[in-house]
Amino acid sequence: MVTYVNSHNGHRRKLGKFTPFLGALFFGPVYFLAKGVWPAFLIMATVYAPLVQVWPFLLFIQLIVAFFAAVIVRRHHISRGFMPEVIA
């Protein structure tokens, strides 16, 4: 588990190693909305909307996004000023 700390206000956010994969796999765009990653939510919502009719392809895209969920959330935290906490 990695803890991200905001250097400006000391706020901490924890990110598990397998949690983003499971969250994105089972909950899709709602997981990113709950994590506060608005760009990923908006992109996924606009991509998913026309693909609702073709659900097997939608499940394939859901699986691909789930593999990259940890990277998406990590980059979002770093872009917002959070840095991984180093335990010495």
- In this prediction, residue 88 has a pLDDT band, given cuts at 50, 70 and 90, of low
- The pair of three-digit structure tokens given for residue 67, joined into one six-digit string: 């593999």
Q: What is the total count of domains within the chain?
A: 1
Helix (H) or strand (E) holding 26: helix 19-27
87: pLDDT strictly greater than 80 = no
Residue 39 lies in domain: 2-84
Q: pLDDT for 18-31, tens place per residue?
A: 999 999 999 999 99
**Which burial class, exposed, middle or buried, applies to 65 when counting CB atoms under 10 A from its CB (0-12, 13-18, 19+)?**
buried
81: pLDDT strictly greater than 70 = yes
